[in-house]
Chain A
Amino acid sequence: MTSLLHGVAARVATIGADLPLAEVGAAAERIRDATALLAATLEASTAPPPTPLLVAATDHLDAAAGALARAREELDRYLAQVGITGSSPAPVSSGPSPTAWADRVDALTDHVGRPRPPVHSGLSIDELLTSVVRAVGDRTALRRALAAAPPAVGWALSARCAGSLAPEDPARVRRCATSRLPALLPGLDAATAEQVVSAASRVAPPPAGSRPDPTDVAIATIVLLAASTVDRPASPPATTRLDGSPDNAGAGSESGNHSPPSIPASGHTRAGGPTSGPASGHTRTSSPASGPAGGHTRTSSPASGPAGGHTRTSSPASGPAGSHTRTSSPASGPAGGHARTGGPAATGGRAGSHGSGRTHSPAEVGGRAAAHGSARIHGRAGVGGRAEVRGSAWVSGPAPDGGGFTASVGGWG
């Protein structure tokens, strides 16, 4: 026979167990999906996007989930303090388990049951992206790179990748997915792959019978961006200088063959939670560089081939340059993020610098250059095409026409 107190305890325990944490979690997941899709779709728009409101909605949901969890804890504490323990139903699990990310990586790469690399808690988003770009073509290395990532870093990178996949050429993204994903992610089902491709192509996904695992979508998005980067075809750089004279400096370079992913937000993001919004970068190049360069790039001598990660190169480099690469001599490849140039720098194609950029010698940019933050050029600067500077820019040294000058540009220049 149960006592009255047991009856009260059972009611309280049931209330605690029935709190709608699962519903709040599902709502937050839908909002995140919508945010990622809208961010990818309206990336280039200057109109006020609805994404900040959706981010605010997610914050409210996270706060609600926290309040619900706190309420459940208080009810459990109440039951314990009035002397009734063990009658509380098992708590309902909400949210993925801590190993869900690595579990799905193992499943997708067909490495279930094999020894797993330790999680690198200090891994940054840039570093993870670099590792994945390097691992394209090697499924074991890909699994090692992804499984070692803290889930928060993986999710954050995925969110950024979702807005960075090439919308200008959906057919190429689809070809890349068709040719690369089955080999790299044999465990990925066709419906999820289609959803990832649709999102990358900025089209509505086909109606699916069941909702794809969001972790699978996140992992596949990262891999597709990395593969798309490696497979990117060559494109001739623009060769017009600021003064209108022809400039072939970048024409002979190997730039443009493998542009690194253009991630909206770069910087040194560490594990500890997903990040959003543009992050600062820092760009310095210490010697002649041409072509797109991506990420934190320093090169000590001519280098060619994909470069990524915290890499010091002492040989010619060109092609895809991932993050955290140092170059002290001629280099080619897209540059976005931290780059320092101490010598002549020529960039063909598009160069994006978020944060600050410094160039201590002649700099020539063919195509489009965009700097968000501040940019300083000591030496000669030649820009062909369009240059956009959000923030401020300083240019000192000889002008393209030979005269010395110092220019400061605020806002858009």
Chain B
Amino acid sequence: MASVAEVKAAIDAAMAHVAESQEAVRAANDKLGEAQAGLAAAVDGSAHESVAAARSALAQATTELEECLTVTAGAMEQAQTYAAAL
């Protein structure tokens, strides 16, 4: 028979995964920022449509990663609140 401690441990384990994911997202964000800066410098002066499309795609990726961090923070808070109420 499962105990509350076991449920909390499972929630903690799940949140550890989420925390690892957040670290990976932050690392991705850092590399993405470097890529955007490097691309801006490398293609400065270019009006090529592929360059514009690439920059737009990178901006979208940045937005998605930021939103991912927001919702994972919400999920962690929700899980911690639930675990505390057990």
Contacts and interface: CB of A to CB of B under 8 A. Distances in A.
Interface of A: 8, 11-12, 14-15, 18-20, 23-24, 26-28, 30-31, 33-35, 37-38, 40-42, 45, 47-51, 53-54, 56-57, 60-61, 63-64, 67-68, 70-72, 74-75, 77-78, 81-82, 167-168, 170, 201-205
A74 B64 CA distance: 19
B35 A57 contact: no
Interface residues of B, number: 52
Give the top 5 A-B pairs by smallest Cβ distance, nearest first: A30-B21, A34-B17, A27-B24, A64-B64, A53-B75
Given A15-B35, A24-B61, A81-B48, 7 more contacts: A8-B42, A30-B17, A31-B18, A45-B82, A50-B74, A67-B60, A77-B50
Given A23-B27, A41-B7, A60-B65, A78 B48 contact: yes
B46 to A, nearest CB: 8
B50 A75 contact: yes
A31 B10 contact: no
Contact of B60 (A35, A63, A77, A204): A63
Contact of B68 (A26, A50, A64, A81): A64
A30 B20 contact: yes
Contacts of B2: 167, 170, 201-203
Contacts of B43: 8, 12, 78
Given A34-B18, A60-B68, A70 B57 contact: yes
B10 A202 contact: yes
Contact of B32 (A20, A42, A47): A20
A19 B50 contact: no
B48 A34 contact: no
Given A53-B72, A68-B61, A31 B17 contact: yes
Given A18-B35, A64-B61, A67-B61, A205 B13 contact: yes
A203 B7 CA distance: 7
Contact of B48 (A26, A82, A205): A82
Contact of B14 (A27, A34, A47, A67): A34
B34 to A, nearest CB: 8
A61 B54 contact: no
Interface in B26-46: 27-29, 31-32, 34-35, 38-39, 41-43
B44 to A, nearest CB: 10
A203 B14 CA distance: 10
A371 to B, nearest CB: 26
B25 to A, nearest CB: 5
A84 to B, nearest CB: 12
Contacts of A42: 7, 11, 82
A202 B10 CA distance: 6
Contacts of B25: 23-24, 27, 61
A73 B48 CA distance: 14
Contact of A18 (B31, B55, B75): B31
B48 A54 contact: no
B71 A60 contact: yes
Interface centre among B31, B65, B68 (most CB of A within 10 A): B68
A201 B28 CA distance: 34
A89 to B, nearest CB: 14
Contacts of B12: 204
A24 to B, nearest CB: 5
Contact of A38 (B14, B61, B65, B74): B14
15 contacts: A12-B42, A24-B24, A26-B24, A27-B25, A33-B17, A34-B15, A50-B74, A50-B78, A50-B79, A64-B65, A74-B50, A75-B39, A75-B51, A167-B2, A201-B2
A202 B1 contact: no
B59 to A, nearest CB: 8
A50 B32 CA distance: 28
Contacts of A78: 43, 48, 50-51, 54
Contacts of B50: 74-75, 77-78, 81
Nearest to A169: B1
Contacts of A167: 2
B53 interface: yes
B68 A38 contact: no
Given A38-B14, A203-B9, A204-B12, A67 B75 contact: no
